[in-house]
Amino acid sequence: MNLIEKLRHLDVPGPTITSVTKPFWEGVASGEFLIQKCGECDKNVFYPRTHCPHCWSNRLEWTPASGKARLKTYSVVHHPGHPGWQDVAPYPLGIIELEEGPSMLTQLLVDSPEDLKMGDALHVKFVEVNEIWRPFFERDSSRD
């Protein structure tokens, strides 16, 4: 069974969906990667929030993002915080820089974490895990 198939069969808790994060998760479920953009200072924002961290405006709007990113750093998880993730451990978690600017923590879909390099080009891949669509990121060899 490959990694995607293993992920689809995990019994893990879902994200906590609030009124602030709901548009993000609805976008993911429909195959669209959304981030917020400030209507005041025009900066992109991620993670979802009610006020811009740059200018404190509450004029944040949801906008489609490219789903492209670069790897900033990563670590390999050997002992997951929830036992449901053990079936795919060890797995890499990375901090990525989205093409639009913000950084994001995400699980990386790679066969061999040893092959990862800082600056690797990545793109989003949506995977349904325990009936919840989630954004993961995988290497994008077309952009290396």
pLDDT one digit per residue (tens) for the chain, 144 residues: 799 999 999 999 999 999 999 999 999 999 999 999 999 999 999 999 999 999 999 999 999 999 999 999 999 999 999 999 999 999 999 999 999 999 999 999 998 899 899 999 999 999 999 999 999 999 998 866
Task: Report the distance separating Cα 43 and Cα 56, nearest Å.
Answer: 11
CB neighbour list of residue 101: distance below 8 Å, 6 or more residues apart: 43, 44
Task: Report the distance separating Cα 113 and Cα 136, nearest Å.
Answer: 14
At residue 144, the pLDDT reads 63
At residue 116, the pLDDT reads 95
Q: Where are the alpha helices (DSSP H) in 9-69?
A: 22-29
